[in-house]
Amino acid sequence: MISVKNLSHSYNKDGKFQVKDVSFEVKKGEIFGFLGPSGAGKSTVQNILTGLLQLQNGEVKIADYDVKNPSKKRFNKIGMSFEQSNIYSKLTAKENLDFYGKLFDVSTVDSKELLQLVGLQGKEDKKAGEFSKGMKHRLTFARSMINNPELWFLDEPTTGLDPSIAADIKNIIKEKNDEGVTIFLTTHNMFIADELCDRVAFIVDGEIKLIDSPENLKLQYGEKLVEVEYIENNETKKETYSTVLPEDKEALEKVIRDHEIQTMHTKEATLEEIFIKVTGRGLV
């Protein structure tokens, strides 16, 4: 669905590249996370993929179209939800969606249906300029689905949303993916990436450092630990043991044998911890 080979980009065209020899592929039907701190090059790559920036160096194919040969038809297959909402403030929510829907050459989703899906029912006739930041974000998210995209670009889709609405947005993403939609998720939120993505790419200073599934990354870079709460002398104690070190395995067996266990669960590294370990950089 997406093929990127040796992509480089310089804003000043002075030989200093903000994106450097980036290559990756996104398979049809997967959720691919593009993860990195602010200024890492995420938005630059995304803008080239979606046609907002002109390709300078490399080869890029999107939904079977070569971006060197732009075709309006490719936009019929693409949806894009921006982190910064760019809606028309003097139009109502419904007018925003209806206007945008007319830009496509394919059948579109009913605007009221989309507004209900993102929790904006009853706000159809309210001007978007009167919306809160979170409501504007939901309207932008709804707009990105209006053409039933095969390839869906999501830039920080849960930013500024309360936990309940964010959970609804994540459920919509999962449902669309179950329907076969390919998703390119740009974020610095490792928790949403871990929850949603089939594979992730770590990008820092314009270079991809690693691409793999969250599960494989945890197995490769995470420590194998077990945290146990148990009762000893009428007091609750908590200990963490390695499941690899022989002495820890023996100690764990002794605790299980000699004490009443309250809780026991494995501990795995988070994607954020792995990102820092692999790149030497934080996410801010």
Beta-bridged to residue 8, according to DSSP, are 57
The confidence score (pLDDT) of residue 273 equals: 85
Backbone angles phi, psi at 243, to 5 degrees: -95, 10
- Find the CATH number of the domain harbouring 27: 3.40.50.300
Place of tokens 């954020």: 272
The confidence score (pLDDT) of residue 221 equals: 80
Q: Are residues 83 and 120 both part of a single domain?
A: yes
Task: Kindly report, residue by residue over 128-149, the tens digit of the pLDDT.
Answer: 999 999 999 999 999 999 999 9
Residue 281 lies inside a defined structural domain of this protein: no
Q: Number of C-alpha atoms within 13 angstroms, CB side, residue 62?
A: 29
Please give the tally of structural domains in the chain. Answer: 2
Domain end among 218, 251, 278: 218
Instruction: Copy the structure tokens of residue 126.
Output: 């309210």
Q: Are residues 67 and 189 both part of a single domain?
A: yes
Q: Does residue 203 sit in helix, strand or coil?
A: strand
Beta-bridged to residue 180, according to DSSP, are none
Q: Which of 31-40, 152-161, 266-275 has the lowest mean pLDDT?
A: 266-275
Whole-prediction pTM: 0.85
Instruction: Give the pLDDT band of residue 278 (cuts 50, 70, 90).
Output: confident
Q: Are residues 174 and 236 both part of a single domain?
A: no
Q: Are residues 198 and 230 both part of a single domain?
A: no
Residue 254 lies inside a defined structural domain of this protein: yes
Residue 236 lies inside a defined structural domain of this protein: yes
Task: Kindly report, residue by residue over 2-52, the tens digit of the pLDDT.
Answer: 999 999 999 988 888 999 999 999 999 999 999 988 888 999 999 999 988
Edge-to-edge strand order for the sheet containing 260-267?
Answer: 235-242, 225-232, 260-267
Q: Are residues 132 and 193 both part of a single domain?
A: yes
Cβ atoms 26, 61 nearer than 8 A: no
Beta-bridged to residue 238, according to DSSP, are 229
Cβ atoms 206, 19 nearer than 8 A: yes
The confidence score (pLDDT) of residue 65 equals: 87
Q: Are residues 202 and 257 both part of a single domain?
A: no
Q: Are residues 148 and 234 both part of a single domain?
A: no
Instruction: Give the pLDDT band of residue 218 (cuts 50, 70, 90).
Output: confident
Instruction: Give the pLDDT band of residue 123 (cuts 50, 70, 90).
Output: very high
Q: Are residues 163 and 51 both part of a single domain?
A: yes
Domain containing 235: what range? 223-267
Q: Are residues 99 and 239 both part of a single domain?
A: no
Give the list of residues 6+ apart from residue 111 with CB closer than 8 angstroms, or none.
93, 94, 97, 98, 101, 124, 146
Instruction: Give the pLDDT band of residue 153 (cuts 50, 70, 90).
Output: very high
Residue 206 lies inside a defined structural domain of this protein: yes
Cβ atoms 225, 241 nearer than 8 A: yes
Instruction: Give the pLDDT band of residue 56 (cuts 50, 70, 90).
Output: very high
Burial of 82 (0-12, 13-18, 19+ CB in 10 A): buried
% of residues, the chain, pLDDT over 70? 99
Q: Are residues 71 and 166 both part of a single domain?
A: yes
Q: Are residues 238 and 109 both part of a single domain?
A: no
Q: Are residues 214 and 227 both part of a single domain?
A: no
